[in-house]
Amino acid sequence: MPKANYDIILRNGEVVDGTGAPRRRADVAVKGDRISVVAEPGGIGDAGGAREIDATGRVISPGFIDTHTHDDNAVLIGPDMIPKISQGVTTVIAGNCGVSLAPITLSGTEPPPPLNLLGGLEHFRFERVTDYVEAVTAAKPRTNIANLIGHSTLRLACMDDIGKKASAREIDAMRDRLAEGLDAGAIGFSTGLYYKTNAAADMDEVVALAELLADKGGVYVTHMRDEHDGILDSLQETFETANRAHVPVVISHHKCAGPNNWGRSRETLPVIDEARKRQTVGLDAYPYPAGSTVLEPDWVDEEIRILVTWSTPHPEKTGQDLADIAAEWGCSQRDAAVRLNPAGAIYFQMAEEDVRRILAYPPTMIGSDGLPHDSHPHPRLWGTFPRVLGHYCRDAGLFTLEEAVHKMTGLSAETFGLKDRGIVREGAFADLVVFDPDSIADRATFENPKQTAAGIDLVMVNGTEAWADGEPTPLRSGRFISRA
């Protein structure tokens, strides 16, 4: 009688291991939260698994790492994490774009945009990152989460007037909070220099914070000051900042925004390549020609299509085009944006040509930048990973399946220092996805964004089956994870 040596054995799948190496047919055995054995088919012999799963014709890959999220609060108030787990994401990196839920306690006034992308006033209640980590652990989300500390959050917590550059005293206060966060397990520091809450910070202010990462470990991640006409200057600012702070840097959601700049990834990618010869530079991107964030009247130029994703005073306008709302109200689009605020929007600001060139660039990692609290969210929240694997890999042939998986697993784990994640090998955490490479596809659209993916059979998080046959299981086993 074979005895059950393992908790789960996945038999006869095609293992795409996350390193970029060619796929190979294998059996994978899981015990506890780790992968115990990866062997030739039949190589595990008749050592039984408590549960045996036939993965014939399916790919077994590492669980996807969503490198760019705003899931800080989602893991607490929506710990089932259905938009993410349903597309094979087993780890989210939160706190991007200078915006993190901790460390700050707000009282009195609502958080200014873009902090309000994470939720209202009552959700900002973590004075220390340690408190946030405790809350995550208690919430037991379905996916793992790792956190960056956001510069706008630090500025709001420590400064009298965030419209100015920080004083020496305010920088010290921010450094103390950032140090506490890194000691509590945060994996880096993010800026969103594009946003009003962060824009007054000059390079000296950013360096004074980012340089803490050189001692404590961690990555500097930046939503750059300008992704429009000034993109080349912003790239230089990014490289110089990271260089002065002696830290690795990740460029967030790289894009060339605005019709003026369409096609300019032909210029930006060679510049990034040059910098990569001198310093450690990574980047992430999502697979759509539209971005999404708060609706800021100053950004409304009547040149591109803008779609409203939420509005506090006018929730009935959610899902409508700003141009149509302005026509109905008999006002300019800018005035309509003022009336809709606070609000969020999707901006159709990129060229498909750039999206493809940036996705295909070998150093590019995949990050959804999904906004989990929007009532009519950008479809990237639910569709990013299957869209890369189905639409861009299988159908458009931008890269091999091995490369696509590497961009969403091994490369991401390596960049952010997530030990024993993002790889299928013996001893690694059993964060795994079993999917059908022929049918995997995103179903979320701009019109109908809250749709699960097709072709995802099974998702395991820390050795636990978290999503199976199109449904969440009763088991949640995500953890707060920090750097190796």
Contact residues toward Cu ion (CB under 5 A) are 96-97, 369
31: partner contacted, choices Cu ion, Zn ion, none (Cβ within 5-8 A by kind): none
Q: What's the rounded Cα separation, in Å, for the pair 428 and 33?
A: 9
Cβ proximity to Zn ion, 250 vs 430, nearer residue: 250
465: partner contacted, choices Cu ion, Zn ion, none (Cβ within 5-8 A by kind): none
Q: Minimum distance from CB of 70 to Cu ion (Å)?
A: 6
Q: Minimum distance from CB of 286 to Zn ion (Å)?
A: 10
Interface ranges with Zn ion (CB under 5 A)? 97, 223
Q: Minimum distance from CB of 415 to Cu ion (Å)?
A: 16
Cβ proximity to Zn ion, 97 vs 247, nearer residue: 97
Query: Which residues on adjacent β-strands are paired with residue 144?
Result: 91
118: partner contacted, choices Zn ion, Cu ion, none (Cβ within 5-8 A by kind): none
Q: What's the rounded Cα separation, in Å, for the pair 153 and 191?
A: 10
E runs forming strands in 108-178: 125-126, 144-150
376: partner contacted, choices Zn ion, Cu ion, none (Cβ within 5-8 A by kind): none
Q: Give the Å distances, CA to CA, from 417 to 358, 409, 422, 484.
A: 23, 12, 10, 6
Cβ proximity to Zn ion, 97 vs 343, nearer residue: 97
Residues 126 and 147 sit within 8 Å (Cβ to Cβ): no
Could you give phi then psi for residue 384, rounded to 5 degrees? -55, -55
Residue nearest to Cu ion (CB): 97
Q: Minimum distance from CB of 331 to Cu ion (Å)?
A: 29
Cβ proximity to Zn ion, 97 vs 294, nearer residue: 97
Cβ proximity to Zn ion, 146 vs 440, nearer residue: 146
Q: Minimum distance from CB of 363 to Zn ion (Å)?
A: 19
What is the full DSSP assignment across 183-220? HTT--EEEEETTSTTTTT--HHHHHHHHHHHHHH--EE
Q: Minimum distance from CB of 342 to Zn ion (Å)?
A: 17
Q: Report which of 231, 230, 210 is spatially closest to residue 280, judged by C-alpha positions.
A: 210
Cβ proximity to Cu ion, 248 vs 367, nearer residue: 367
Question: Hey, is 447 helix, strand or coil?
Answer: coil
Instruction: Judge residue 179's burial from the number of C-beta atoms within 10 Å of its C-beta, 0-12 exposed, 13-18 middle, 19 or more buried.
Output: middle
